[in-house]
Structure 1
């Protein structure tokens, strides 16, 4: 069982299309949910469980600014295919931009989430686990 499988159970609802044909914003939509769940399960695995503390810690991982930063961390390690999905996610035109994010961070965070959704639907769970673990390791060694 991969590390990702230990942290996140797989659901039995495959996408309606081949992952490569899905709209990048659809991939980002599911990628956001997967990433948020991964981070929340990680935070609950730590000793402090006060809801306010959990929320404060989660924002260090799930904000547009943080996700844009983590994408930069990943870029040197991505395959051609993964870089292509990042470009598709970054270039996707969204109807809205959150009030707490600048446009560039928002586009990079969408690219980040798009790649997560793509790897999830491609069932490349080991690779997804490697990338997500890279973020945890980075944040743990930040101090």
Structure 2
């Protein structure tokens, strides 16, 4: 056991903030390959309340292939993408969002998300770890 244990951070109800968006439906499609897995997601996104804040999605070690909003492909200047987030401004209160990414399970040595172990593809689908 470590000499100093890290204490869990307390989270209080008074600090809770309702999410800016709801995602009532999502469908995921995987084309599984050891070194190049393609992931397609199709989700319904609903704005919660009257605001103009962007939708921010989290992901790690993903290669973004394309995005469609209500069936229309988005050009790169319509969104922001960095190493850990994808940020989109959605003008409609209800949107169908499609995102296509590629991941490399063979290069994932952290045993989170989708990873390769010997000849097997494995997943560790914890809420935080499935970002990979």
TM-score, shorter chain, exceeding 0.5: no
Structure (1 or 2) with the greater strand fraction: 2
The answer to which structure, 1 or 2, has the higher relative contact order (CA under 8 A, 6+ apart) is 1
> Computing the radius of gyration over CA atoms, which structure comes out larger, 1 or 2?
2
